[in-house]
Amino acid sequence: MRIVVVGASLAGVRTVEGLRRRGSDADVVLVGAEPGPHGGIAGDGIAADRPPLSKAFLADAAVEAKPLTDRARLGALGVGLVTGRAVDLDLDRRRVGLHGGEQVGFDALVVATGSTPRTVPGLEPREGVWTLRTATDAAAIRAACPEGGRVVVVGGGFIGAEVAWTLRQSGRAVALVEPLPSLMARGLGPELGAAFTRRHAAAGVALHTGAGVAALEGGERVTSVLLTDGTSLPADVVVLGLGTVPETGWLAGAGLDLRDGVVCDERLAAAGAEGVWAVGDVARWRHPRAGEDVRVEHWTNAVETAGVVAANLTGTPTVHDAVPYVWSDQLGARLQVFGRVRPGDELRVVVGDLDGSFVALTGGDGQLRSVVGFGAVKALLPFRKLLLAGAGWDEALAAA
């Protein structure tokens, strides 16, 4: 049996490692196409560990971007490495086509191509304008804006907030633009989002909430960002943090269900395609706990989905029912979110307060829906256990 894993970022690398750890003796091939400078493929096409790219690596040129694996380690596992970008899939012939014409045959296929930064018309990368996904991106942003430089971050989600905090702490003048009234509102809800908005403002980030971008100004190189409220923000560097889209373009026409990712069942088997699986950011699956299709873009989910698919491919039927977990290092502490903060859910702060370290619960319909902590890793643990156990809202509040 030949198992081909397309995508050499975290989910893909952990999948091939998981197959060997679980005793698979299949012929395993990893296809990597991590982009380098000018769109070329860097090294072996293997991604660097991404979390430091918006934090320590972005702030300090002395910090190395460490690849998740390398050819020698893969060789020791008996995993073949093919460097190239997948451009099409032929399910009838069981072939993945690569840029340049190479065809890679498979018996089982794991789609691990992740996601790419979202752009919108008028807000595309150009000289001085960057998205942040790869080590090459982070190094270029850092080099283009020396200490004292002016940065405009567009988008106040988790990545935008991390980038703004990191660059402000490393001596740049940072403005952050977010069309919603508060930062990270989609992930944290309005009340918690407002609390973190206040914290970023106190940390020296110039916030422009409730405004969008009307235009990027300048000739070949951006010089300023014009907002919809008429404000013009001078910029040496613009970082776009507009979210991501699943990398499924190469799968068009293959017969897979590609509604916001590769649609899968609860085992992460692709709908309507025998022997095809998906892991990481690109997977959209039927979540047993939520009772709906979800797609999660975070480090923990990449690792968990890799483990689920490795188990299924080695004969242990496994569903992916983990409680979603997101973490973000910013403002000098760790923000942790277990579960999903839903619009309209009730919020209760059960440890500390929103101006310091805290643990907050959200719930609705009598159920505990999420546990959010900031700078309170130990205090959060009992409530995390309640969430995993399916505790009701009153039971969770009684434990506070």
What Rg, from alpha-carbon coordinates, does the chain have? 22
Report the DSSP pairing between strands 103-105 and 95-98. antiparallel
What is the pLDDT at residue 290? Answer: 80
What is the pLDDT at residue 400? Answer: 87
Asked if residue 243 lies in contact with residue 118, where contact means CB atoms within 8 angstroms, the answer is yes
Secondary structure letter of residue 49 according to DSSP: P
Asked if residue 250 lies in contact with residue 88, where contact means CB atoms within 8 angstroms, the answer is yes
What is the pLDDT at residue 177? Answer: 98
Q: Where are the domains of the chain?
A: 2-117+244-313, 129-240, 332-398
Six-digit token pair at 278?
């998906």
What is the pLDDT at residue 161? Answer: 97
Are the folds of 2-117+244-313 and 332-398 the same? no
Angle (deg, nearest 10), helices 299-313 and 10-21: 40
Six-digit token pair at 79?
């995993």
Taking the alpha carbons at both ends of the chain, their separation in whole angstroms is 52
Instruction: List the one residue out of 167, 135, 174 whose CA is nearest residue 152.
Output: 174
Q: What is the pTM of this model?
A: 0.94
What CATH number does domain 2-117+244-313 carry, 3.40.30.10, 3.10.129.10, 3.90.1150.10, 3.50.50.60? 3.50.50.60
Q: pLDDT by residue for the chain (400 residues), tens digit each?
A: 999 999 999 999 999 999 999 999 999 999 999 876 555 566 689 999 999 999 999 999 899 988 999 999 999 999 999 999 999 999 999 999 999 899 999 999 999 999 999 998 888 889 999 999 999 999 999 999 988 999 999 999 999 999 999 999 999 999 999 999 999 999 999 999 999 999 999 999 999 999 999 999 998 899 999 999 999 999 999 999 999 999 999 999 999 999 999 999 999 999 989 999 999 999 999 998 888 899 999 999 999 999 999 999 999 999 999 999 999 999 999 999 999 998 889 999 999 999 999 999 999 889 999 999 999 999 999 999 999 999 999 999 999 8
- Does an H or E element contain 150, and which? strand 150-154
Asked if residue 295 lies in contact with residue 260, where contact means CB atoms within 8 angstroms, the answer is yes
CATH class of 332-398: alpha beta
Task: Give the separation between CA 331 and CA 247, rounded to whole angstroms.
Answer: 31
The domain covering 129-240 belongs, at the CATH homologous superfamily level, to FAD/NAD(P)-binding domain (3.50.50.60)
Task: Give the separation between CA 308 and CA 279, rounded to whole angstroms.
Answer: 9
